[in-house]
Amino acid sequence: MNHLSTASSAAVSSLLAWTPFLQPAPAVDRWWWFLLVPLSLGVALSYKATRVRDLRTLPRDAVVLAAQIVGGMIGLALALFLLVQVLLPLLPAE
């Protein structure tokens, strides 16, 4: 019976112990915001697939909705940035 070395068994156990909703994915921590585009496209496509009357307009409608979702997220990010970095420092400390 083959035994794994200590380093490889630790790597396997840490891989098996990864919980996706509690820990960030490995090597995605810096670039997670790029995942916003495929996520919004998937949500828009699945939503529009149930709402559109003619399937020929589905790709265009899904791309428009995905662009609106991404634009909304960018707008919310800018608004929160301005709130935290500009407006909150102007408030009195007490």
Residue 66 resides in a domain: yes
The residue segments making up the domain with residue 85 are 29-94
Top-confidence residue, 31 or 86: 86
**Which carries the bigger pLDDT value, residue 72 or residue 3?**
72
Alpha-carbon gap, residue 94 to 76, rounded angstroms: 28
Residue 90 lies in a domain: yes
Instruction: Give the pair of three-digit tokens for residue 48.
Output: 């529009």
How many other CB atoms are there within 10 angstroms of residue 94's CB atom? 3
> What pLDDT, in 10s, does the model give residues 28-83?
777 888 889 999 999 999 999 999 999 999 999 999 999 999 999 999 999 999 99
Q: How many residues does the chain have?
A: 94
pLDDT of res. 5: 61
Q: Is the model's pLDDT at 4 over the cut of 60?
A: no
Entry pTM: 0.69
What contacts 36, CB < 8 A, 6 or more positions away?
Answer: 70, 73
In a domain, 12, yes or no: no
Instruction: Confirm whether 21 is domain-assigned.
Output: no
User: Is residue 91 one of the residues assigned to a domain?
Assistant: yes
